[in-house]
Structure 1
Amino acid sequence: MNTAIGPLHELARLYGVQTAYYNVLHQRRPASVNTLLSILKALGSSLERLEDIPSALRTRRKELWQHILEPVTVAWDGNLSSLSLRLPASVAEATLVCHLTMEDGECREQSYPARDLKTLETAELEGMKYEVKELRWKDMLPPGYHRLSVRIKGVTAETLVISAPSRFYHPPEGEAHRSWGVFAPLYALIRKRGWGSGDLSDLQALVSWIGDMGGNIVGTLPLLASFLDDNSDPSPYIPASRLLWNEFYLDIMSVPELENCPGARAFLASDSLQKEIEALRNTPRVDYYGIMIKKRQVLEELCRCLFATPSKRLDAFFRFIENNPTVEDYAGFRATRERHGASWQAWPQPLSEGIIEEGDYDESIKHYYLYTQWLMHQQMNSLLGTVQSSNVTLYLDLPLGIHPDGYDVWRERDSFVTGVTAGAPPDTVFTRGQNWGFPPLHPERIRHQGYRYFIAYLRHHLKSAGALRIDHVMGLHRLFCIPEGMSASEGTYVRYHPDELYAILSLESYRSRTVVVGEDLGTVPHYVRPMMKNHGVHRMYVMHYELASADTRKIIKPVPADSIASLNTHDMFPFAAVWDGTDIEQRAALGLINRATANREKRLWEERKRALVRLLQGKGFLDNTPASVEEALKACLAFLSASDAAVMLVNLEDLWLEARPQNIPSTTDDIYPNWRNKAGYRLDELCQIPRIIDTLRMVNQIRKRREPSR
């Protein structure tokens, strides 16, 4: 066993698998042999047992050295000044002919005698000598995705060259300085005549209201296509696809076909449907399945009306489908799923292999999914019109995860690693670690595909987002992977190629004029935030996280100027529960922490709260009398508003002192009803509540000052 550890660790390093990591307490945590073997096998190594390591190691070394070029190369600011080529020593006297095909089709050619190139490294592998040569391309490159091929002695290698600005897009000076806005899960927004959850018209109304209040940004959770069958997990962070929208958020009453569809109008007006909708409105939590059943019944009738008669609308529908082939492929997948079962992995071949033909599904069901994606496209465009007219930025969320039985994994299966799931190691908030239950992207295969899938789902979001949050930005660098059958504490990290991913994000952010925000909470390696800063990626500043690890002598650090500041996130208890300490009691009651840990956290929180009160009093945000929860909330919001933060975001639920969290990570439906809590007030009521209006006016007044209050 001991003699195999060294070669096993070397093999792991060649695959980008960490053999150990440091946890949030800076303690070293080595990966077990079983963990490494399982992850290496999942990444493609021919490993079954320890005895296979020498052979797998030779294969991997040979594989790496025989690639003349890396599959992807980054040219920051158009400068391709250093490109490494791995060449057999036998061709060291030959001439390299390089062809660069630009994104716009322009071609450039340069030739280099190999002997004139600088030698960076030499190696010998199984009797074959290799040299690493440095090629310096002479011209500056325009931004874009270019293809460089190198030919030497009849052998051709190719690399994707990503030429990108070294810093991500930022609005012109002053355009978004000291912005503020609100965050709210769209499903939680309710109105008097709604269906029991929010829709895109509600998001439009929220945007208009916040714009009228002086705010500049509205954020929400992912709005991506999801499975909403009975017993499906409604989490917005495991979508069926990152390439399409969720028809759950359609506003039925805004669909144009309703005007000329008597059947749909009659059904909507029926006593039976109105009673069912009223029942859905009155439930304390969002009933995704119940709402979707009723919405779908109406939408299917509207779809039939559209197809029944030739019209300009029908022509527009067909043009949309022709221009969006992914929508048609997705609709076929969803229709096939309804006939053959929820998991494509159990479908018969060739369906499970990604080959679907007419007859494998009900055509009317495919029409439904085509139609609803078209409607989502139209209603998203309507939302963007309101966003622009209100001078508000739409802040969307790009989830790290994907449903293992979803469209993306089915269609893009080579982009994912099977046999492991992504998660996070134990930290101060989630003491048992987290298993998120979805397959991670394969770090090498996505490179060989030219990051096609990554670029596609990124562009899907950037068409609509003025600001985009990258969920778990550390995933651009490395991802905690847990072999199937093991606990969250038994995983280790797999590395990606951050330069390449940052370059794509930078290029796409400029093309779409979108600000990029990295969610950098939890266990953050020391090199992540400096790289974010170097490239102009906004970070997050969350007061709850800062207080959870604060020293009472310096209770809170200054808020960084490049941050999006907030009191909490959707994965945390709201402010009122934290301030009163009821979050600790609820976590203990759910079994997430034991009684000893709960008592220790209570003591620490009381100490930190006293220190925070002293700080807020010293800055004039609190007087010297005991603070109520509402006074403490306003003081903390004032503190963040007066900070240097580029953007200050208010959790809408905090304004009415909500105590229920939207999500408690590491819990399931039988423990806590995640992603289902409705807002405590209807949206039209919120706009009329004096204390909420006063708080937002206070935030607006402080943020609009010329200089932050230090």
Structure 2
Amino acid sequence: MQLYSLRRTGDGGFGDYTALADFAVGAAGQGADAIALSPVHAQFTAVPTRFSPYAPSSRLRLDVRHADAETLLGELTPAFAPELAAEWTRLEQLNLIDWPAATAARLARLRQVFEVFQAQAPASLRDDFAAFRAESGAALERHARFEALQAAQLAQDPQTFHWRDWGAALRDPESAAVAAFAAAHAEEVDWHAFLQWQADRGLAAAQRAAREAGARIGLIADLAIGVDGGGSDAWSRQDEFLQGVEIGAPPDIFNRRGQGWGITTYSPHGLRANGFAAFREMLGTAFRNAGGVRLDHVLGLRRLWLVPEGATPDQGCYIRYPLRDLLRLVALESARHGAVAIGEDLGTVPEGFRPQLERAGIAGMRVMWFEQTEPPKGEVADFIPPQRWSPGAVAMTSTHDLPTVAGWWEGRDLAWREELGHTIPGMAETRAAERPLLWDAFCRSGVAEGPVPGPDQAARVADAAAAHIGRARCELALLPLEDAVAAVEQPNLPGTVEEHPNWRRRLAPPVERMFQDPAIEQRLRGLARARRAP
């Protein structure tokens, strides 16, 4: 599920770690062993217009926007200012998140709590905060300094988002100028460290709630493939990051022009030269409050498509990574934390790569849309029975980058492509031929019967799809929350920025009532029954 999409009464406009804990308890009550969530990496508190979970500032820290300010101080919690209370209510009523306004409101509320914490917090809380800062060490201190520095730079000049546009002395995190800034703005640095503490407390509480409610795995964190080159990680570890390029994907059937993701990541030479320190620290952060980690675009452990600044994605090339070393480190951290590891092995997969993942104990992903036979020329591919999917992989209906089941059945994704001028010739005809094949696959797996539903009966198809992945041989099945509620719109449409409301959709009903909804309960029960079927 996309954390931001959750609703709860009093959330201020987007999902938070408290909603996550409530959701996890409800899901575990329906028999769920795992709750996979979208990335919660640190974003830019000074730049709330940047909100893609896959283009964070830092993968070593958490997204503080999801922290719930009401859980820390108990009776000392300050009252809402009237203007903030009104804004809070307005934001909760929106179906599309207003990230700039909602972020400002959430940070304003957290600032109120921080001020009371500084003045009145009991010694036990102060000791907890101090212990968190000591445990988090230099990585937290650098991130807190970066956040304070970026806010100060942007206040002087809105064009200085990227740290390369700062004065020369401030580009070096170890410089005397940065140390002097931190000393002069100690309270601001404390504030950003406090935010990280609140985020860590919230995420830890959600994992604890999931496990105590019976989920054997609990949360599965999502580890993005890269970060924004202007962010905290790239500033803090310049020797270990690629400069002057963005990573992406080569042209394929879904994106004929290729993709540029506007993010960067580690340099293979920088990783080796520093003993893989950044990679190991990143893994430790990901596993810290989770029972599993999904590695986004796990193909990047072997090679990444690099696009030079100023070039188009189809002009890129691959750069190789030390796959064996990286796989061993993932396996090591997975074993140390007693947690599962999943790799998003979708797209242009090199021959022999999936067996390497399997030998390392990393589960791949088997997405229903892609589990198809190789068709004879001129014919439409049939769907592979789930009983033949890979046992060591994870079964799922869809992903955040692909159509939902209801949206696919209704053709909503095709309508978006047509509206945006991304239509691929023949897709509508192919879809018309695929619908009865998918329904027939459901019937053959024993989760549906009767004639093919019409385009206006997508909810029936969502029911069958949930049970269908439950019949897979895979050891784990994950149902996207969008398919649990039979949503038509997908969270993200690759290749778009402003044209599609990516990462902004909120789902209904709120978590307080979600697992009492008969349709949602039916899909989850259907999935659970299918998992138990012989």
What is the TM-score of this pair, normalised by structure 1? 0.70
1:612 aligned residue: 438
For residues 340 and 677 of structure 1, the distance between their equivalents in structure 2, rounded to whole angstroms, comes to: 32
Matched, 1:390 2:216: no
1:648 aligned residue: 477
For residues 337 and 665 of structure 1, the distance between their equivalents in structure 2, rounded to whole angstroms, comes to: 29
Equivalent of 2:70, from 247, 253, 268? Answer: 253
For residues 225 and 445 of structure 2, the distance between their equivalents in structure 1, rounded to whole angstroms, comes to: 38
Residue 239 of structure 1: CA displacement? 1.0
Residue 402 of structure 1: CA displacement? 0.3
Cα deviation, 1:354-401, whole Å, max 9, x if unaligned, reads 221233663332121011111222222222221221232211100001
Letter in 2 for 1:343: H
Matched, 1:537 2:353: no
Equivalent of 1:281, from 54, 74, 92? Answer: 92
Cα deviation, 1:82-115, whole Å, max 9, x if unaligned, reads xxxxxxxxxxxxxxxxxxxxxxxxxxxxxxxxxx
2:411 aligned residue: 581
For residues 489 and 548 of structure 1, the distance between their equivalents in structure 2, rounded to whole angstroms, comes to: 28
Structural mapping, 1:294-333, within 5 Å: 294-309=105-120, 311-325=123-137, 326-333=139-146
1:380 aligned residue: 203
Give unpaired runs (5+ residues) of structure 2.
155-160
Structural mapping, 1:53-452, within 5 Å: 184-229=1-46, 232-256=49-73, 259-261=75-77, 264-265=78-79, 268=80, 270-309=81-120, 311-325=123-137, 326-341=139-154, 342-354=161-173, 355=175, 356-359=178-181, 362-392=185-215, 393-452=218-277
Residue 229 of structure 1: CA displacement? 4.3
Matched, 1:683 2:500: no
Q: Structure 2 vs 1, CA of residues 485 and 549 (structure 1 numbering), >3 Å: closer, same or farther?
A: farther
Q: Structure 2 vs 1, CA of residues 215 and 674 (structure 1 numbering), >3 Å: closer, same or farther?
A: same
Residue 237 of structure 1: CA displacement? 0.7
Q: Secondary structure at 2:181's aligned position in 1? A: coil
Cα deviation, 1:161-204, whole Å, max 9, x if unaligned, reads xxxxxxxxxxxxxxxxxxxxxxx111000123221111111111
Cα deviation, 1:596-632, whole Å, max 9, x if unaligned, reads x24x011112222222222323343322323232222
Q: Secondary structure at 1:235's aligned position in 2? A: coil
Contact persistence 1:474–1:520 (CA under 8 A):
yes
Letter in 1 for 2:443: Q
Q: Secondary structure at 2:294's aligned position in 1? A: strand
Matched, 1:569 2:399: yes
For residues 194 and 379 of structure 1, the distance between their equivalents in structure 2, rounded to whole angstroms, comes to: 14
Identity %: 27
For residues 163 and 148 of structure 2, the distance between their equivalents in structure 1, rounded to whole angstroms, comes to: 12
For residues 610 and 388 of structure 1, the distance between their equivalents in structure 2, rounded to whole angstroms, comes to: 40
Letter in 2 for 1:666: G
Q: Specify which structure has the higher proportion of strand.
A: 1
For residues 131 and 270 of structure 2, the distance between their equivalents in structure 1, rounded to whole angstroms, comes to: 33
Residue 561 of structure 1: CA displacement? 0.7
2:158 aligned residue: none
Q: Structure 2 vs 1, CA of residues 364 and 432 (structure 1 numbering), >3 Å: closer, same or farther?
A: same
For residues 470 and 315 of structure 1, the distance between their equivalents in structure 2, rounded to whole angstroms, comes to: 34
1:659 aligned residue: 488
Q: Secondary structure at 2:492's aligned position in 1? A: coil
For residues 555 and 377 of structure 1, the distance between their equivalents in structure 2, rounded to whole angstroms, comes to: 42
Residue 260 of structure 1: CA displacement? 2.1
When structure 1 is superposed on structure 2, of 384-393 and 208-217 the one drifting more is 384-393
Contact persistence 1:189–1:679 (CA under 8 A):
yes
For residues 608 and 228 of structure 1, the distance between their equivalents in structure 2, rounded to whole angstroms, comes to: 45
Contact persistence 1:228–1:288 (CA under 8 A):
no
Q: Secondary structure at 1:541's aligned position in 2? A: strand
What is the TM-score of this pair, normalised by structure 2? 0.92
Q: Secondary structure at 2:395's aligned position in 1? A: strand
Residue 667 of structure 1: CA displacement? 0.7
Letter in 2 for 1:237: Y
Q: Secondary structure at 2:278's aligned position in 1? A: helix
Q: Structure 2 vs 1, CA of residues 548 and 334 (structure 1 numbering), >3 Å: closer, same or farther?
A: farther
Residue 442 of structure 1: CA displacement? 1.0
For residues 246 and 282 of structure 2, the distance between their equivalents in structure 1, rounded to whole angstroms, comes to: 20
For residues 230 and 332 of structure 1, the distance between their equivalents in structure 2, rounded to whole angstroms, comes to: 16
RMSD: 1.9
For residues 221 and 362 of structure 1, the distance between their equivalents in structure 2, rounded to whole angstroms, comes to: 33
When structure 1 is superposed on structure 2, of 218-227 and 297-306 the one drifting more is 297-306
Letter in 1 for 2:164: Q
1:697 aligned residue: 525
Q: Structure 2 vs 1, CA of residues 273 and 548 (structure 1 numbering), >3 Å: closer, same or farther?
A: farther
For residues 638 and 283 of structure 1, the distance between their equivalents in structure 2, rounded to whole angstroms, comes to: 32
For residues 519 and 335 of structure 1, the distance between their equivalents in structure 2, rounded to whole angstroms, comes to: 34
Contact persistence 1:563–1:646 (CA under 8 A):
yes
